[in-house]
Structure 1
Amino acid sequence: MNVLVAGGTGFVGRYLCAELHDRGHDVTALARSPDASVVPSGVTTVEGDVTDRDSLRTPLEGLDAVVNLVALSPLWEPEGGNEMHDRVHRQGTENLVDATEEAGIGRFVQMSGLITGDEDLTSYHRAKARAEEIVRASDLEYVIYRPSIVFGDGDEIVGYTTKLKQMFAPVGPLYPLPGGGERTFFQLIHVGDLAPMLADGVEGDEHANETYELGGPKVYSLREVTELVFESKGRSITIVPLPMSLSKVGMSAMGAVPGFRLGPDQYRGLKADNRVSDNDVGVFGVAEDEMTTFEEYLGVK
């Protein structure tokens, strides 16, 4: 198959491109500034921007499938403000879907977010929910994935905990976390486990027009994630609970500080439950107890 991976040189994209290439497919990685050094030598890279529909026409010629992995992080406020989530996730998906239909391509794979559709959630999740609606309303044969937070080499979750420490308590072992980090949960999934399941969605007719929620083998609180990250670095920290009400006020106020990149949206994200309601990894022949845990990845415990 000839497959285009939008966001193909990003964190998840480079793993998926490698997986598809290993399976014998002709793979093209599309990105605004593609870096050919992060994908296998047999993978073609091409410049394109999902927010610019005209830039997508030529790259989509002669393809069998399109995968949309383009995403902004839900952990930080993006440059340009939270409205960028709608521009990239909702409008970008609409542009890519329209261009895919126009090119007569049969299969469209969309990576969404685990939590969607709640009006009290973040700009990220609202935009992801609207993007799903666009995909389902199209004439394309689609597969939608809703993974929990993805970890692995090049991820954001490890850097996120370190950055929070630098922001909230740059000196000393004390680490204030909203709610003590015990009200925010992630069912972390390793990118090496996720990529083959995404590739199955590109290939398998049995996955047509299905939506899958995917999580790893364990659920972690933000506190546990933070402690594991610092343990892997050989550093000791003491978690200090920060009342959620105070966290809301503080993050809202600090959101106006240049470079802080945390605000009301990110506070709402801390209240979200990022656990799957029913883990669909078994659909892809994957057993949860065979998946990579966060501790194994970090080399602790």
Structure 2
Amino acid sequence: MTILVTGATGAVGRQVVQQLAKRGADVRALVRDPSKANFPVGVDVVQGDLLDVDSLRSAYSGVSTLFLLNAVVPDEYTQALIALNVAREAGIERIVYLSVIHSDLYVNVPHFAGKFGVERMIEKMGFNATILRPAYFITNDMTIKDVVTGYGIYPMPIGSKGLAMVDPRDVGEIAAIELVRREQAAGPLALDRINLVGPDTLTGADVASIWTQVLGRPITYPGDDTAGFEKNLRQFMPSWMAFDMRLMSERFLTEGMIPEAGDVERLTALLGRPLRSYRDFVSEIATSA
């Protein structure tokens, strides 16, 4: 049978496809634009959209396990509900869903609240599911490298509670492991939730210190200006999304993204290797063009 990956050309979805192909799985990738589908040989590429019921029905044909990933868009919640209902109609029972850590705490943040609702639907509909809950993606900070190197500041308002930043490559690999586990199981497996975190929980000052050590010159953390963060984001994203990101950053300050006891050890055991760290990430990109 076939594993279908949605969001397959994104930062996580592409990793999931590659990891599944590496494990010899029968993979189908749902994409909006097939020209962006540069996947390993053997991956079945189908064009479709999570709001296009006909394309979903076609993509789901012969699928036994679904990886559901929704982008942060205004109708994210609707997309997920349609995708799950059509999956149920198609007889798909095995699902791995990419949610977000602390969706139950960040209740006023639109894309967190939407994912929390999807989690409830998955549970109430009785899917044989793993819910993955990643923390802040390390690679989000690719966008501020020039600010760090050019102005000597780390501008993301992440606060002093700490974020357990995770590498999307680790997210993709763990998702593939869970998809294969459910696909190959002889019968239904219990609903499971996995927090996806990095090896370190870092504050704004911690992150600035890492940049300082890697670059060999002082990098400072100027503070928790969430209003300024929203203003800057509005230069290159819609106002609703910039506001969503501001609300998220405000919860960074009050809640952080803190792992539960045993999270790091569980992920390390699943991967059979250490988790990739923020320091690894900075070392990789610091000298790149």
With structure 2 as the length reference, what TM-score do the two structures score? Answer: 0.79
What is the CA–CA distance in structure 2 between the aligned matches of 1:158 and 1:189, rounded to whole Å? Answer: 13
Counterpart among 152, 171, 185 of residue 162 in structure 2: 185
Q: Match of 1:5?
A: 5
Please identify, of 261-270 and 123-132, the stretch whose mean Cα deviation from structure 2 is larger.
Answer: 261-270
Counterpart among 162, 171, 174 of residue 197 in structure 1: 174
Moved over 6 A (4+): none
Three-state SS of the structure 2 residue aligned to 1:239 is coil
Q: C-alpha displacement at 1:67, in angstroms?
A: 0.4
Distance 1:250 1:281, change over 3 A: closer
| Equivalent residue letter for 1:275 | I
What is the CA–CA distance in structure 2 between the aligned matches of 1:256 and 1:193, rounded to whole Å? Answer: 27
Q: Which structure has more strand as a fraction of its residues?
A: 1
1:257-277 superposed Cα distances (whole Å, 9 cap, x missing partner): 553657443232123212222
How many residues of Structure 1 are paired with residues of Structure 2 in the alignment? Answer: 273
Q: What does 1:80-91 align with in structure 2 at a 5 Å threshold?
A: 84-85=73-74, 87-88=75-76, 90-91=77-78
Q: Any conservation in 2 of the 1:216–1:293 contact (CA below 8 Å)? A: yes
1:45-90 superposed Cα distances (whole Å, 9 cap, x missing partner): 1111113333211000011101012222xxxxxxxxxxx34x11x1
Q: C-alpha displacement at 1:223, in angstroms?
A: 4.1
Q: Match of 2:68?
A: 68
Distance 1:230 1:51, change over 3 A: farther
| Equivalent residue letter for 1:268 | L
Distance 1:227 1:115, change over 3 A: same
Three-state SS of the structure 1 residue aligned to 2:174 is helix
Instruction: Please report the RMSD computed on the Cα atoms of aligned residues, expressed in angstroms.
Output: 3.3
Q: Any conservation in 2 of the 1:146–1:213 contact (CA below 8 Å)? A: yes
What is the CA–CA distance in structure 2 between the aligned matches of 1:237 and 1:45, rounded to whole Å? Answer: 47
Q: Structure 2: give runs of 5+ residues left out of the alignment.
A: none
What is the CA–CA distance in structure 2 between the aligned matches of 1:199 and 1:111, rounded to whole Å? Answer: 12
Q: What does 1:166-181 align with in structure 2 at a 5 Å threshold?
A: 173=151, 175=153, 177=155, 181=158
Q: Any conservation in 2 of the 1:20–1:27 contact (CA below 8 Å)? A: yes
Q: C-alpha displacement at 1:203, in angstroms?
A: 2.7
Please identify, of 90-99 and 35-44, the stretch whose mean Cα deviation from structure 2 is larger.
Answer: 35-44
What is the CA–CA distance in structure 2 between the aligned matches of 1:288 and 1:186, rounded to whole Å? Answer: 23
Please identify, of 49-58 and 62-71, the stretch whose mean Cα deviation from structure 2 is larger.
Answer: 49-58
Q: Structure 1: give runs of 5+ residues left out of the alignment.
A: 73-83
Q: Any conservation in 2 of the 1:46–1:59 contact (CA below 8 Å)? A: yes
Three-state SS of the structure 1 residue aligned to 2:63 is coil
Q: Which structure has more helix as a fraction of its residues?
A: 2
What is the CA–CA distance in structure 2 between the aligned matches of 1:227 and 1:15, rounded to whole Å? Answer: 29
With structure 1 as the length reference, what TM-score do the two structures score? Answer: 0.77
Q: Match of 1:298?
A: 282
| Equivalent residue letter for 2:190 | A
Please identify, of 195-204 and 16-25, the stretch whose mean Cα deviation from structure 2 is larger.
Answer: 195-204
Q: C-alpha displacement at 1:98, in angstroms?
A: 0.8
Distance 1:217 1:104, change over 3 A: same
Q: What does 1:232-247 align with in structure 2 at a 5 Å threshold?
A: 234=215, 236=217, 238-239=219-220, 241-242=222-223, 244=224, 247=225
Q: Match of 2:15?
A: 15
Three-state SS of the structure 1 residue aligned to 2:103 is coil
Q: What does 1:196-235 align with in structure 2 at a 5 Å threshold?
A: 196-204=173-181, 205=185, 208-225=190-207, 228=210, 234=215
Q: Any conservation in 2 of the 1:173–1:237 contact (CA below 8 Å)? A: no
Q: C-alpha displacement at 1:125, in angstroms?
A: 0.7
Q: C-alpha displacement at 1:211, in angstroms?
A: 1.1
Identity of aligned residues (%): 21
Q: Match of 1:81?
A: none
What is the CA–CA distance in structure 1 between the aligned matches of 2:154 and 2:197, rounded to whole Å? Answer: 27
Three-state SS of the structure 2 residue aligned to 1:274 is coil
| Equivalent residue letter for 1:183 | S
